[in-house]
Structure 1
């Protein structure tokens, strides 16, 4: 986990407008440029961390205590870019044995992670896996065109 958080790179982040109203920001899109090796290492670390710790309970943010909240993570490979996966986060109030911890309970959010060479495209906070993959496909196609133009391709 420490290695994952040490993987620092400048990010370009924007919130998309989900319904055109401007009141409720939609999914967050981030482009993270780094070396190809760093980007591949980041993706590998995300898989390792999810395998080692697929669920965590949080009872504090920094030094401030909060009511217990549990988050379960699952990753599913996708066929985009050089490497891609959808991260599913299921969150519920209480600890891992709380009544709300049943398999179908909790709030779900889906984030698409795509590596294109040394650029990570992170596009998230979707209500379904299908929506995350569709948005990730569109974002990847756009990012690929922009990257090719930047290098004169």
Structure 2
């Protein structure tokens, strides 16, 4: 799929209520999980101890931190849409976040995004995206949420 190119509020508004696209798959590795554990000081064994996870975890392997899966959103979103003429982008919030499926080590994930709404607030574009983080070959997504971004177009 080709990346959308958006250079103004008006161009963004054309996608209001529509699916914007789907990213490529990203494989989650144990190295990523371990680095995230180091960065966040969350070394819970379900994330970082593959041997223990094999025998004690209901997933029978390590799983990614939920916040690790959230942290790759900007990377995946950039695969769907490219923004031009933007002075600044602010991550404004996440509404209705619900984790529904664990992401196991070596799972592949991708982002599916639909533009829920886009409004012009005195020159600032507020966009709300309904997103799902899909897991390859799984019925349930890792999570669903509404992402809120503020774009400051030139």
TM-score (norm 2): 0.32
Greater share of helix? 1
